[in-house]
Structure 1
């Protein structure tokens, strides 16, 4: 193991194809919402998540009708269509064509207007400065190698007073021995900075690559929260969350966070 380990994986390309496979496999974050969810949202009854379990407080959004909302690395036919049904003008930006297709499916089925754009969350150059009132960015930046560019780009494309809602994993989530964890035991094995590309042996990494599973990077809280502040945001809300699958980590600690940040 070691940060200097050689690898030839293009993380963005690999995870784009991996997410496309997740759609085919029916991963829970790729299953489009049903008509009943959209009907309820149109009545004002709705919820979405940035982390596995806790609904985002409605107060974090403010009034959505007529607002320009960017779903950043947030496709899958779930959050975007709900926010569009509430009345927002929604753009979904994602690395996975198959995930974007799930939003298209719901939009066409429900008569919703949603703009779909494929791209890298670290590069929002397709959007002009000050294009959006709100960015919705659920747990997804662990699929890219660096996240400070994500915060800088988010800040740029938001209007003054705009809001960034983001969810992310705490880095400790990735540091336990996975074989022991599968047996219900938590034992630290890896160190920060952690990446599936550089922290694992080739044999360990094949646990994921042989089955086409996603590869992840554990970003520090300094980069996650400090990175937002360094980009110019003011932190205005925070909560933590546990994995909804009830894994062994959730018996001991919360490993997900959500932040509400405002562009002054």
Structure 2
């Protein structure tokens, strides 16, 4: 059950604005050289881990396609897709993350729109507004993914595609300190896991820092079944290890799906 004393959207907005200031990996904008190559058709973007997404998952020609980069700020995927010819909207909960996209767009002369908001509420957009929704690993920052899938389905046009990345819920079984500090896989958490139900505010501050983003694991029923319940047809699946986690030797930490809105 969600801690009623915590507003995850507000807390995680502040957390991600701080991460931008710290220059973490997912807040570092692409270079002008990468944008220029994308204009010439040489590009790749990441959906899970460090592996480029399979280009066959996206339209062969992005020119004029309306693409929503959902919870995907940071100046990475959005600018590349815009340089490849798409009409891109980047939607994110963090003004700092959106600022990275705005910076790249201004620097490189890209047409790109940014919208601030919670991924669970896409009321800023009308029905059937997009051809593609690109949603990299991010729904771990909301307590429930079902509203995200429903909104993705609503804003996609018939025949539109949802590309989504998410965390393998089993990754949350393990003791964080033992894993990060000693590389030991010690099962301590019951699933589904939540920072706000597993620990008190004081314990969270001691373990992760008071400003750390709140995370929530989600079952595969919620992730994959949730997409199906929203009306999607699953057409692709991939997995990848965590790039630096000790569990990578034993399991995939990331899953990705390609799903289509029938029509």
Distance 1:164 1:208, change over 3 A: farther
Give the gaps of 5 or more residues in structure 1.
none
CA deviation digits over 1:31-76, x for unaligned, max 9? 1101110011011110001111211011100121110000000000
Give the gaps of 5 or more residues in structure 2.
none
Q: 2:53 matched to 1:47?
A: no
The two structures have a TM-score, normalised by structure 1, of 0.95
Distance in 1 of aligned mates of 2:107 and 2:116: 21
Distance in 1 of aligned mates of 2:207 and 2:33: 35
Structure 2 counterparts to residues 138-157 of structure 1, below 5 A: 138-157=136-155
Alignment correspondent of 1:198 = 197
SS in structure 2 of the partner of residue 123 of structure 1: coil
Distance in 2 of aligned mates of 1:203 and 1:101: 31
Structure 2 counterparts to residues 30-179 of structure 1, below 5 A: 30-62=27-59, 63-179=61-177
CA deviation digits over 1:186-237, x for unaligned, max 9? 0110101210011224443123563411110001110000000000000000
The two structures have a TM-score, normalised by structure 2, of 0.96
Distance in 2 of aligned mates of 1:225 and 1:208: 30
Distance in 1 of aligned mates of 2:78 and 2:159: 21
Aligned partners of 1:208 and 1:214 also within 8 Å? no
Aligned partners of 1:7 and 1:197 also within 8 Å? no
Aligned partners of 1:71 and 1:135 also within 8 Å? yes
Aligned partners of 1:77 and 1:106 also within 8 Å? yes
Alpha-carbon offset, residue 173 of structure 1: 1.0
Alpha-carbon RMSD: 1.3
Alignment correspondent of 1:231 = 230
Aligned partners of 1:124 and 1:153 also within 8 Å? yes
Alignment correspondent of 1:260 = 258
Aligned partners of 1:53 and 1:242 also within 8 Å? no
Q: 2:8 matched to 1:11?
A: yes
Aligned partners of 1:7 and 1:198 also within 8 Å? no
